[in-house]
Amino acid sequence: MDRRKARTRAALIAAAQRLLAGRHGTEASIQQITDAADVGFGSFYNHFTSKTELFDAAISQALTDHADLLRRATAHLNDPAEVFAASVRLTARLRDTHPQVSKILLHSGLPYLTAGQGMPEHALHDLQAAHAAGRLDIGDPELAVACVGGALLGALHLLDARPDLDPDTAIQQVTINLLRMFGLKASEAHHLATRPLPDLP
């Protein structure tokens, strides 16, 4: 793909992500999408066959980008259980650190919790690494990922709907609950859920 085509595709995906962050983003017309991307209407079909294909690509890219951020933020951690806990906490803080990604997940995230790429793939890797090290007991890996994704999506929804909630306390509780579900004792789960948190790059 030449640079011009790559820029056009990236502009369409970025425009779709901005629209998806709105509550009715998927209702946008192709003309509205190309206007938001500042590209010609005909350019759309050089890259995507439908709005659905574009929105799928936009959500997938958002999940993949966030997973890359998590990998870089936790690369210095040696305990796989702490890596998992930090990834959970950083993802639950998306409303404050990356509000557009948070909104995309809130409005469109449920069907992508079991996708084989992006954040679900990252969570699967973290869980399997912690299981292999004897730190967490995850049972069926795909079911474990679904449980983590559901908990995170639920937490994001609640924090969005309840601005009165203290986000740090809520995120710690979600992390502790997940760690205990995967076999850690309450004291160790609390320790990992309250460790200093790395910054997202």
The CA-based angle 5-111-113, given to 5 degrees, is: 95
Q: What is the pLDDT, as a whole number, of residue 117? A: 63
- 63 and 40, same structural domain? no
Q: What is the pLDDT, as a whole number, of residue 178? A: 98
DSSP-derived letter for residue 35 is: H
- 63 and 29, same structural domain? no
Q: What is the pLDDT along the chain (201 residues), one digit of tens a residue?
A: 588 888 999 999 999 999 988 876 788 899 999 999 999 988 899 999 999 999 989 988 888 888 888 999 999 999 999 999 999 999 888 888 888 888 888 877 666 666 666 678 888 999 999 999 999 999 999 999 989 988 988 888 898 889 898 999 999 999 999 999 999 999 999 999 999 988 776
- 133 and 159, same structural domain? yes
Tokens of 13: 């995906």
- 68 and 40, same structural domain? no
Q: What is the pLDDT, as a whole number, of residue 193? A: 97
User: Which one-letter amino acid corresponds to residue 82?
Assistant: E
- 77 and 31, same structural domain? no
Return the closest-CA partner of residue 192 out of 147, 183, 34: 183
- 39 and 80, same structural domain? no
- 41 and 75, same structural domain? no
Query: Is residue 95 domain-resident?
Result: yes
Residue range of the domain that includes 7: 1-49
CATH number, domain with residue 183? 1.10.357.10
Query: Is residue 201 domain-resident?
Result: no
Query: Is residue 199 domain-resident?
Result: no
CATH number, domain with residue 4? 1.10.10.60
- 93 and 71, same structural domain? yes
C-alpha dist (Å) from residue 17 to 13, 118, 160, 184, 201:
6, 15, 18, 37, 20
Domain end point (choices 49, 67, 84): 49
- 45 and 121, same structural domain? no
- 67 and 159, same structural domain? yes
What is the tally of helices (H) and strands (E) in the chain? 10, 0
- 4 and 63, same structural domain? no
At residue 141, the 3 state secondary structure works out as helix
Q: What is the pLDDT, as a whole number, of residue 113? A: 66
Q: What is the pLDDT, as a whole number, of residue 107? A: 78
Q: What is the pLDDT, as a whole number, of residue 198? A: 81
Number of domains making up the chain: 2
- 161 and 108, same structural domain? yes
